[in-house]
Amino acid sequence: MEKLIAGTTVTVNEEGYLTNFAQWNEAVGEALAAEANVVLTPRHWQVINYLQLQHKSNLPLSIRQIGKSNVVDIKEFYQLFPNGPLKISTKIAGIPKPASCL
Amino acid sequence: MKHLLILGAGTAGTMMANHLRHNLKEDDWEISIIDEKEEHHYQPGYLFLPFDIYQPEDIVKSIAEFIPKGVSLIKNKIERIIPAENKVAMKTGEMLEYDVLIIATGAKIAPEETTGMQGAEWQKSVFDFYTFEGSLALRNKLREWQGGKLVIHITEMPIKCPVAPLEFAFLADSYFKHKHMRDKVDITFVTPLSGAFTKPKATAALDHLLQEKNIHIVSDFAIEQVDNDNKKIIDYGGQEVPFDLLVTVPTNKGDALMERSGLGDDLNYVPTNKATLQSKDYENIFVLGDASNVPASKAGSVAHFEAEILTENILLYIGGQPLKAEFDGHANCFIETGNGKALLIDFNYTHEPVEGTFPFPGVGPLRLLKESRMNHMGKLAFRWIYWNVLLKGTHIPFVSANMQEAGKHF
């Protein structure tokens, strides 16, 4: 389905995740963060950029691996994106949330 | 005489040995396969062993039984791969040279990655079912268990057979009902993901199963430690889940051989081209099955489809032609839902599991993403197919290596 956000029309799935990363830009990221009640600081952006880089390299994302990334430790990751940091941060980053096959 | 070397005689390696011996002339190519073990385990059977549905002898046979004539089976431990010299060093000091190397060393559990997992309660009230030993110890525990809080837990993705933990929860519901003690057991499923189901169509079609079976879900749970003294698991966000019996799926990792050889990522999976299955770093190394980092499910059906594609690509590579066979991430899995029923799912890199018919579009006889007795019969029949058809590299009729889109409701 289509959604107008920050002046851009993007395609999202049933849960509001972007289905085409090419439609993402920083203004879209800011607006998605506002919807999730997250105010983005430079630390948030460092994490978001790391997640996007991993996604582009086809690498799976897990909390433990993010904790080993030297970008952020797991405690801080929870502070930056409270209550399910992985599903919230990936939504803001415009990439799919980590999923199983079902 | 050229030499093709296969590391690992599990599902993927054994299938490649059979495919390639059939396709490469014995006068031109010597084929060897190395494994340190003597037994070949039907790993899907680990799910059934704890519930006394299968017995150990149903799921264990000898590796040698499935290695074709004309392939030498070497029982030895591999110390290191030296890709720059096209050599593999054995633990015993010998060196094997190769022209083409296939890595099929699989994945295994790494409970040591989580604080307290292998603590005082390990195999007392904390169990895994991803190893033969763990699964058997759990069977013995379940036979005498009087009930309480059963917690089924996934540490982190990716894991082998990603739906197996959920199947375990469904089968546990069934098992305790049959033992007339379901009212004494509280079942909780704890996952690092956003729910038991993560794909929109599967969630819509299957979420009702959890209510029907009275299985509680704790989602977004990233485990920090197992607290053995107080019998609870604790996550980084401070959430706690108490247990009387914890059935956990620890972190899964590729073989430590990759770390020793400098060939793996941080979980010891080998970076692999997801379409051609060629190693990203060395053109004469190919990787299939659980050992690779391709974003497909770690499952036997995936290895089976990969083996058909990889055989084509290795023949092209040997012939000096560009690799053209493209793997699409195809997986096909029966999922036990308990009470003699199962689901069937068929999907790939780009298409999530949906409802429909399989393998004949519009006809079936199997129904996708719907519970049925027929699918359960399919899952049980699959053990015979595995030992008698799949490992031998025989093509399974009507089931193509790439996923077919017809007959599916996208």
Average pLDDT, chain B: 95
Q: Name the residue among B350, B353, B352, B349 with its Cα closest to residue B296.
A: B349
Is the ipTM reported for this complex over the cut 0.90?
no
Interface residue ranges in chain A relative to chain B, Cβ cutoff 8 Å: 13-15, 58-60, 62-65, 68, 74-75, 77-78, 82-84, 86-87, 97-102
8 Å CB contact of B222 and A68: no
SS (H, E, C) B27-78: CCEEEEEEECCCEEECHHHHHCHHHCCCCHHHHEEEHHHHCCCCEEEEECCE
Q: How confident is the model at residue B204 (pLDDT cuts 50, 70, 90)?
A: confident
Q: Which CATH class is domain B111-252?
A: alpha beta
Cβ-nearest to A65 among B206, B236, B266: B266
8 Å CB contact of A64 and B222: yes
User: B22-52: per-residue pLDDT in tens?
Assistant: 999 999 999 999 999 999 999 999 999 999 9
User: B45-99: per-residue pLDDT in tens?
Assistant: 999 999 999 999 999 999 999 999 999 999 999 999 999 999 999 999 999 999 9
User: Would you kindly state where each structural domain of chain B is located, as residue ranges?
Assistant: 2-106+255-318, 111-252, 331-390
Structure tokens at B250: 């620890």
Q: How confident is the model at residue A59 (pLDDT cuts 50, 70, 90)?
A: confident
User: What pLDDT is stored for residue A69 in this prediction?
Assistant: 87
Cis-peptide, bond into residue B359, ω within 30° of zero: yes
Chain A environment of B295 (Cβ under 8 Å) = 58, 60
Structure tokens at B342: 């199962």
Cβ-nearest to B157 among A13, A74, A100: A100
Residue A75 Cα, gap to closest chain B Cα (Å) = 6
pLDDT above 90 for B392: yes
C-alpha to C-alpha distances, B399 to B275, B277, B367, nearest whole angstrom: 19, 20, 15
Of residues B270 and B199, more confidently modeled: B270
The pairing of strands A2-5 and A8-11 is antiparallel
Q: How confident is the model at residue B387 (pLDDT cuts 50, 70, 90)?
A: very high
- Across the range B317-324, mean pLDDT stands at 96
pLDDT above 80 for A35: yes
User: What pLDDT is stored for residue B80 in this prediction?
Assistant: 98
Q: Name the residue among B288, B284, B281 with its Cα closest to residue B264.
A: B281
Cis-peptide, bond into residue B50, ω within 30° of zero: no
Alpha-helical runs (H) found in B179-239 = 200-212
User: What amino acid occupies position B131?
Assistant: T
> Alpha-carbon distance B301 to B406, whole Å?
20
> Alpha-carbon distance B103 to B314, whole Å?
13
| Residue B14 · residue B385 · CB < 8 Å | no
Alpha-helical runs (H) found in B60-155 = 132-144
Average pLDDT, chain A: 92
Domain spanning B2-106+255-318: CATH superfamily: FAD/NAD(P)-binding domain (3.50.50.60)
Number of Cβ atoms within 10 Å of the Cβ of B201:
19
C-alpha to C-alpha distances, A45 to A26, A50, A92, B45, B94, nearest whole angstrom: 9, 8, 10, 45, 51
User: What pLDDT is stored for residue B364 in this prediction?
Assistant: 86
Cα–chain center distance at B158: 10
> Alpha-carbon distance B130 to B110, whole Å?
10
Of residues B147 and B397, more confidently modeled: B147
8 Å CB contact of A86 and B192: yes
Q: Return the exposure string of B64-96: e unless at least 16 CB atoms fall within 10 Å of the residue's CB, then b.
A: eebbbeebebbeeebbbbebeebebbbeeeeeb
User: What pLDDT is stored for residue B183 in this prediction?
Assistant: 98
